[in-house]
Structure 1
Amino acid sequence: MKLYRMPLGMLGTNCYIVVDEQSNQCLVVDPGSDGEHVVEVLQEKNLNPLGVVLTHGHSDHIGGIQPIVDTYHCPIYVHKKDEPFLTDSRLNLSVYSGSTVEAHGEVRHVKESDILSCGSLSFRVIETPGHTPGGVCYYGEGILLAGDTLFRESVGRTDFPGGSFDDLAAAVSEKLFPLPEETVVYPGHGPETTIAHEKEYNPFVR
């Protein structure tokens, strides 16, 4: 497996391209902005995206979807509770920044324990509501693609529409912290961390 991290947009949202090196198939995770640049990278590296995979539906995670979908005609994977965020600028918060972000394409819903495959790679869906109602993480190959659920020594905000700190804390403590401690966590913003580090040092979840 190869993983590329691309901080995109004003908020430096981490877009990840997860690659099966045997087939050059990949998944594009949370392309928050600069979709044309993501397409350039995919073409430069001769990668074949099987889908755009979303941890949640906020605009800083979906703003770059359209050029990728239009170029590769690949589906968008999102939890059904966050699907409305794709076309509602108030839910996805883009209206508050003076713009309108929408993403259109074939939508495929993900839910707890679903498996997303990419060549020889596979990732299990873990529902982690709290930052948004349909927030999810993807676990496999020794990594956790955590979106805005879990950061290095922090967690996602829960004061947005549909947010719940109690739900988020429960998801982290009951679903993420039991993962192997050596699991590398790749968050939606900022540097990577590990489950072991967060269990010991995260002040928001114990």
Structure 2
Amino acid sequence: MKWQRIPLGPLQTNAYILSNSNKDCIIFDPGGDAQKLLSIIKQQHLKPIAILLTHAHFDHIGALDGVRVIWDIPVYIHENEKMWLKDPALNGSLYFMPGHEISVKEATHLLKEEGEITVGSFNFSLFNTPGHSPGSVSYYCKDIGAVFSGDALFAGSIGRTDLPGGNSEQLLSSIHKKLLTLAEDTIVLSGHGPETTIEAEMDQNPFLHGF
């Protein structure tokens, strides 16, 4: 099983593809540039089976319909943001991309409870990690020792909390109680920027000290 990071869209938001030896794959946060993402998937002869969203801000969902229309695959999102996919005001595209608002079809699976989820042969532990947005979630994959953290935790930083539904205290609590409890060698696959590790962020992230 392996992962790859693909920056997409106007903010170069990280989409991720997690694939296994059978060429099945999960797509995380297809944020834009649908044709680029489709080309990579087809060149590698991968077979997408689902799209998992960490949250529904516009820069994480821009290519959603462009991808799922090809393979007719399910989409997972936390129930707190189920309306954000269709609403440009909620997903932020109305304000950040005037004239290019994003409205995509609703998700097929709404996440609520934390715990183990299985998609095909892929197994994840789901953590609710709100603060950047009310429905932010993180997907921990034990098989690869990595967590797909969306915009909760970055290398040397944390997600912004000045957008609608953001809450800085809630975000710091999410990071400390959910993400920093993972093994220190866990790879953090963030929504923007390079990968990092839990150990590196515990030691070096200035936003996490003094909480």
Distance 2:107 2:160 in 1: 29
Amino acid corresponding to residue 32 of structure 1 in structure 2: G
Separation in 2 of the partners of 1:114 and 1:58?
24
SS at match of 1:14: strand
RMSD: 1.2
Q: Does 95-104 or 128-137 show the bigger shift?
A: 95-104
1:86 and 2:88 correspond: no
| Structure 1 residue 9 displacement after superposition | 1.3
Specify the alignment match of 2:18 in structure 1: 18
Q: How many residues align?
A: 204
The separation in 2 between residues aligned to 1:59 and 1:127, in whole angstroms, is 20
- The CA distance in 2 between the partners of 1:183 and 1:47, in whole Å, is 25
Q: Which runs of 4+ in 1 moved over 2 A?
A: 116-119
Structure 1 unaligned residues grouped into runs of 5+: none
Correspondence 1:54 to 2:46: no
Cα distance, 1:105 vs structure 2: 5.0
Query: Residues of 2 paired with 1:50 and 1:41: CA distance?
Result: 15
How far residue 106 of structure 1 moved from its aligned partner, in angstroms, is 4.6
* Matches of 1:186 and 1:161, distance apart in 2: 24
Q: CA deviation at 1:173?
A: 0.4
1:172 pairs with 157, 175, 178, which one? 175
Aligned counterparts, 1:88-127, within 5 A: 88-96=87-95, 97-98=97-98, 99-111=100-112, 112-119=114-121, 121-127=122-128
Map of 2:27 onto structure 1: 28
Give, in whole Å, the separation in 1 of the partners of 2:134 and 2:123: 24
Structure 2 gap ranges (5+): none
1:20-55 deviation digits (Å, cap 9, x = unpaired) = 12x211100000001122122211111111111100
Structure 2 partner of 1:196: 199
Given that 1:20 and 1:118 are in contact with CA atoms closer than 8 Å, whether structure 2 keeps it comes out as no
Partner of 2:187: 184
**Conserved 8 A contact 1:33-1:63:** yes
Encode CA deviations 1:154-174: one digit per residue, 9 max, x unaligned: 100011001111110000001
For the residues of structure 2 that align with 1:25 and 1:184, how far apart are their CA atoms?
22
Give SS of 1:90's match.
helix
Aligned equivalents of 2:75, 2:119: Cα separation in 1:
14
Deviation at residue 117 of structure 1 after TM alignment: 3.1
1:136 corresponds in structure 2 to 137
Normalising by structure 1, we get a TM-score of 0.95
| 8 Å contact from structure 1 (residues 74, 106) kept in 2 | no
Cα 1:105–1:74 shift into 2, 3 Å? farther
Q: TM-score by structure 2 length?
A: 0.93
